[in-house]
Amino acid sequence: MSTPALKIYNTLTRTKEEFRPLDPANVRMYVCGPTVYDYAHIGNARPLIVFDVLFRLLRHLYGAEHVTYVRNITDVDDKINARAAERGISIRELTEETNKVFQADVKALGCLEPTMQPRATDHIAQMIAIIERLIASGHAYAADGHVLFDVPSMPNYGRLSRRSLDEMIAGARVDVAPYKRGDMDFVLWKPSKENEPGWDSPWGRGRPGWHIECSAMSWAHLGETFDIHGGGIDLVFPHHENEIAQSCCAFDRDVMANYWMHNGFLQVEGEKMSKSLGNFVTIHELLHTEKFGGRKWPGVVLRYAMLTTHYRQPIDWTVERLKVSLKHLNDMYDRTRHAKTGACPNERVIQALRDDLNTHEVVVALGKLVGDAFREAKFSDELLATCAFLGLDLEELDPKKTIVSETQMLIETRIEDRLAARASKNWAESDRIRDELTAMGIILKDHKDGATTWEVKR
């Protein structure tokens, strides 16, 4: 299969490389998903959107049926245990409730559903199998009900993050425990208390460490080695470093994934997001409350705003960025309202995405399409197709959809009153109702067939 070149910046090699899949008939990608104990914050939205764009591009280049995208759900974790206890509900109730909100939020952001969304709790057997392999090969050891990975047993440990030993110890927030052989050794399995979730294992009733979960789920659904592993830059160490150690040592492989992709950090209004600063904002709040900027933001605005900065660069999440994004999207909506579907996405946009997802150049290309459409006073089929390809649902910006149902009912009732006035040739009353609606920002359009439609004045 001949496919145009796609270039990806590989964190493992620190270079931009031409993407060569192991099997063009089955391009495989794994991205770390949510730990479902709380609503996802806007920083979590960045990898969701970035890797959804990559998923769309891979489907475009190789065919939808030839791409497998796995994004996991972590539903066993100490944070989950603590939150469930804090709320006085079961762990299952918490994870189901949180995952339901997460799925709705991700859909609102315009993301396609991944090929698979495996749950950690459904892969305990695979985790135990990997741990047994690691013990058998001398890369792990059991001690005091725990099983730990023996970091010194892997000579090239640290090659992804390229940190010194001191930096790795600091970054891993090393736990001091008498059963550990080395400071850097990390937990693969740990014992569970009576009130904690647990599974029977060769080392007693317990639960998995965080890192082993992703090794097990990627192995189960993508194989011992696959093409792309993605996530936020905060996961490079220790999470992704430890995934590589587990998978490579368990399966005697040089690599776990051939390409490692990481999106940059996000800050809010120039500061690191934190609850103590009062700038911690979730996707759900942005969509459904007026906490940020005094209004609810359509998912398409959040998505577009995230794409205005290259995925590897840090991004400053500001109200002004959202306002500018809304203005750009309204211009796109204006030039596509009556466009026809079926056109191909703009080739300049595709070329920009092939260059390590250069979404900044994508935004420039979209601006040119809008400018051309305004100059030519036309609706652009190509712009509509390009926005659809990028997951930008411009229909969300239909002014009618932003008006609450009660107001919409009032408008339609007044239009019916006006039609009745016109039918009885009461032109004064007809004009009065038109003026009343105009004052509300509603523009009426009378058609030759006698119907009247309306739209919100921009």
Phi, psi of 256, deg, nearest 5? -90, -50
On the question of pLDDT at 170 being above 90, the answer is no
Question: Looking at the structure, do residues 159 and 258 belong to the same domain, yes or no?
Answer: yes
What total number of domains does the chain contain? 3
Q: Of 389, 290, 292, 330, which Cα lies nearest the Cα of 42?
A: 292
Phi, psi of 395, deg, nearest 5? -65, -20
Over residues 384-397, the mean pLDDT reads: 96
- Domain annotation covers residue 129: yes
- Exposure class string for 119-129: b at 16+ Cβ within 10 A, else e: bbbebbebbbe
How far is residue 205's CA from residue 192's CA, in Å, rounded to a whole number? Answer: 6
Query: 263, 295, 310 — which closes off a domain?
Result: 263
- Domain annotation covers residue 6: no
Q: What is the pLDDT of residue 47?
A: 98
User: Could you list the residue range(s) of the whole structural domain that residue 361 is in?
Assistant: 266-397
The answer, yes or no, to whether the previous bond of 238 is cis (omega within 30 of 0) is yes
How far is residue 229's CA from residue 24's CA, in Å, rounded to a whole number? Answer: 16
On the question of pLDDT at 431 being above 80, the answer is yes
Element (H, E) at 442: strand 442-446
Average pLDDT, the chain: 93
Q: For residue range 262-285, what is the model confidence (pLDDT) as tens digits?
A: 999 999 999 999 888 888 999 999
Q: For residue range 12-41, what is the model confidence (pLDDT) as tens digits?
A: 999 999 999 999 999 999 999 999 999 999
- Domain annotation covers residue 9: no
Q: What is the pLDDT of residue 408?
A: 67
Tokens 């440990």, located at residue: 157
Alpha helices in 273-318 (DSSP H): 283-288, 299-307
Question: Looking at the structure, do residues 304 and 214 belong to the same domain, yes or no?
Answer: no
Question: Looking at the structure, do residues 250 and 129 belong to the same domain, yes or no?
Answer: yes
E-strand ranges in 157-313 read 186-191, 206-208, 226-232, 257-263, 266-268, 271-272
How far is residue 87's CA from residue 95's CA, in Å, rounded to a whole number? Answer: 12
Percent of the chain with pLDDT over 70: 95
CATH code for position 156: 3.40.50.620
On the question of pLDDT at 174 being above 80, the answer is no
- Domain annotation covers residue 17: no
Bridge partners, residue 316, by sequence: 267
Q: For residue range 302-339, what is the model confidence (pLDDT) as tens digits?
A: 999 999 999 999 999 999 999 999 999 999 999 999 99
Q: What is the DSSP letter of 237?
A: I
Question: Looking at the structure, do residues 98 and 159 belong to the same domain, yes or no?
Answer: yes
On the question of pLDDT at 1 being above 50, the answer is no
Q: What is the pLDDT of residue 405?
A: 46
How far is residue 424's CA from residue 419's CA, in Å, rounded to a whole number? Answer: 9
Question: Looking at the structure, do residues 389 and 419 belong to the same domain, yes or no?
Answer: no
Q: For residue range 61-91, what is the model confidence (pLDDT) as tens digits?
A: 999 999 999 999 999 999 999 999 999 999 9
Q: How far is CA 414 from CA 174, 229, 296, 451, in A?
A: 69, 56, 28, 14
Dig out the tokens for 195 from the structure: 């009130």
Q: Which residues contact 87 (CB under 8 A, 6 or more apart)?
A: 94
Question: Looking at the structure, do residues 392 and 409 belong to the same domain, yes or no?
Answer: no
Question: Looking at the structure, do residues 70 and 86 belong to the same domain, yes or no?
Answer: yes
On the question of pLDDT at 402 being above 70, the answer is no
Q: For residue range 87-103, what is the model confidence (pLDDT) as tens digits?
A: 999 999 999 999 999 99
